[in-house]
Amino acid sequence: MRLISYAQPPLVEVVCGVLFEPLESLLMPHIGRLWELFRDDYPVCSERDHLLPVVEEYGDGPRELLAEMPSRPRAWFTQEEETRIIQVQRDRFLHNWKRYPADAEYPRYETLIVDFDARYGEFRSFLDEHGLGTPRPLQYELTYVNHLVQGDGWTSLNDIGSVLPDLSWRDVESRFLPDAEGLFWKAAFRLPSARGRLHVQVVSVKRQEDGQPTLRLDLTVRGMGRDISESVRRDWFDEAHEWIVRGFADLTDEGVQTTLWGKIDDTDC
């Protein structure tokens, strides 16, 4: 199956991650030793707030898990320009790619998933070497963050439908409400065989680097399926990637895809 690709996609960040049962033996001194493993490529270390786990269920939807132990900081190991970030806490491992500078080339999914697999493999080997346990995965996640900047397909929230057709406003003179000054929209779509959900979120923001009005379009697939063996993890991420790519194509205007992002047919996107 051929997937749509783009010569200049509006993509600014990709996150690959694993949520697993908390590793009770993984303490902050171990995190320091782990940084030594990655330090040559990720020379900057910092701390962030602990991320709460959210796990997909198939009755009432996702549920937030209550921590069974006091939360500890989340460690960030970053490259100098933060184009790659490793995030570690006792129940999660994440690997980010961020576009920097703004005109940097997107390295494509096949490159990023190989990077993630390699780093996660090194993390697992570190845990094994130091007798800290083996991660028992609860869920995988893949997120693509896109910036649809004002002027690229839309000029105000009134014509958001020109870039995101499913979100178009009714243009009627009798409308009571004034022009919207902000937008927040969410939707979720279930993958087959209870293997996860695609979560889509659109929010109006100011772009951090220049304050430009922007629509941030996030597509996240979370889930796992019944088979939690390492041998099928890549299959899950490949399926999640397909849902994100095809979902993005469904949600965005085809003309904008062609004229602004350079839509092409490809198998490696």
Q: How far apart are CA 160 and CA 232, in angstroms?
A: 39
Contact at 8 Å (CB) between 122 and 116?
no
Structure tokens at 100: 């920097």
Q: What is the DSSP string of 106-172?
A: P--HHHHHHHHHHHHHHHHHHHHHTT-----EEEEEEEEEEEEETTSS-SSGGGGGGTSGGGPPP--
Phi, psi of 133 (to 5 degrees): 105, 170
Query: 37 lies in which domain range?
Result: 3-266
User: How many structural domains compose the chain?
Assistant: 1
The pLDDT tens digits of the residues spanning 61-79 come to 666 555 444 457 899 999 9
Contact at 8 Å (CB) between 164 and 185?
no
The pLDDT tens digits of the residues spanning 210-260 come to 889 999 999 999 999 887 778 889 999 999 999 999 999 999 999 999 999
- Please identify which residue in the block is written with the tokens 């701390």: 47
Spatial neighbors of 140 by CB under 8 A, at least 6 apart, are 17, 18, 19, 196, 222, 223, 224, 233, 236, 237, 240
- Cis ω on the peptide bond leading into residue 29 (within 30° of 0)? no
- Per-residue confidence (pLDDT) for residue 231, from 0 to 100: 83
- Per-residue confidence (pLDDT) for residue 62, from 0 to 100: 66
Report residues of the chain scoring pLDDT below 50: 67-70, 268-269
Q: Say what the pTM is.
A: 0.92
